[in-house]
Amino acid sequence: MGYDEWNCPQCTFLHKFPGQRCHMCGSSRVTKEQMRNFVLGKKIDKSSIGSCTDKTTASSSNAKIESNEDGSKKRPIDVDSDDENVVCSSKVAKAKSPTQPQRHNIIEPIQRNPNFFIANDNESKRFIIYMAVREHDPSFSAGLAKCRAAYQDDEVNSCLQFDGTRHITMFDGYLTNEQARNLSYKYNRFENSIFHPIKLKIDGWMPWDAGCYLKIKPNGEKMLEAILKKIDGFPDPIRQSLQKNGLAKNGVFKFPCNHLSLYRSRPNVDRSKMKKSFGEIRKALANHDWGYVEGVGIRIKVMGEPYSDYKVIAGI
């Protein structure tokens, strides 16, 4: 008596079950009732398993057997038994197991430093307001893997935006600490004071050679602009500019809303080498479908400070 293994259709474990071997094919034979009890988790009476020889004899005449080129017999490819209680595990193995979803890493935005706060004073600093994103689309994960495989160089890899910090910048400009501290999101009566995540689809690369920047599709860009306009507390020049139809660059502030940075040149790197490397990465993934990222939170931080030092305006 040996042990056979198969994938249980009720869970993800490989199970073992004692069963006598068929003398012809070597497969384990158990009754349908025993198999059903096993799947349902019921106790199985091992002593009730009958003689393999008797059951094999009953069905051996119906087994379709092919011969190898050297004349030796192959294992049966099918068993047509008249005994409804007989199940050959070779048949069970042919049964389709439930399709398991492809596993990939889900990358959440970095968590906030609990000791961080924005001072309540009038010191002016360069702030960015950005949409923190969750990366759980397999297409996006596959794109990241292809980027890393396309150009394996430590200096180039240092320019890849760290996991958990990739984001979409919505505002870039100068604010006082007090102004930044007092920004808030204006929920409407349908939102019930909850920021609902938004799906932001990717539309290939931006045509910029300074790095590798993913383009947000126009409908996603419009959603981000609409969200930015719902932030309350901006000083008048910024608020007035937000009300215009076009959110173009300004001498003091800008409202990008249109890209997600993957690779950016860093200080103390060979910029000409980076420019060439970035071009090769963009070329290698020119036809890749990046899918989407999920915008889960509006955050504000000082430019150049750690990504864990931020204030949440809405969401997480």
For the domain covering 124-315, report its CATH number: 3.90.1140
Long-range CB contacts for residues 12-17, cutoff 8 Å, separation at least 24? 12/100, 17/44
Long-range CB contacts for residues 239-242, cutoff 8 Å, separation at least 24? none
Place of tokens 């007035």: 240
State the Cα angle at 12 between 9 and 18, rounded to 5°.
70
Q: Which residues pair with 16 in a beta bridge?
A: 5
The pLDDT of residue 103 = 56
Domain boundaries, the chain: 2-94, 124-315
Q: Sort strands 28-31 and 86-88 into parallel, antiparallel or unpaired.
A: antiparallel
List the pLDDT tens digit at each of the 316 positions of the chain: 444 554 444 444 444 555 555 545 555 566 667 766 766 666 666 555 544 444 433 444 444 444 454 554 444 433 344 444 434 434 434 444 445 545 557 999 999 999 999 998 999 999 999 999 999 999 999 999 999 988 888 889 889 999 999 999 999 999 999 999 999 998 877 666 788 899 999 999 999 989 999 999 999 999 999 999 999 999 988 888 877 654 555 556 788 899 999 999 888 888 889 999 999 999 999 999 999 999 999 999 999 999 999 999 999 9
Q: Is 247 exposed, middle or buried (0-12, 13-18, 19+ CB in 10 A)?
A: buried
The set of residues, in sequence order, having a beta carbon less than 8 Å from that of 33 and lying 6+ positions away, is 85
The set of residues, in sequence order, having a beta carbon less than 8 Å from that of 256 and lying 6+ positions away, is 168, 169, 170, 172
The pLDDT of residue 40 = 67
Show the DSSP H helices in the chain as ranges: 32-40, 52-60, 89-94, 138-150, 154-157, 177-181, 218-229, 236-242, 271-284
Residues 133, 296 contacting (CB under 8 angstroms):
yes
- Alpha carbon 206 to its chain centroid, in Å, reads 22
* Collapsed DSSP state (helix, strand, coil) of residue 59: helix
Place of tokens 């383009």: 215
Show the DSSP H helices in 61-121 as ranges: 89-94
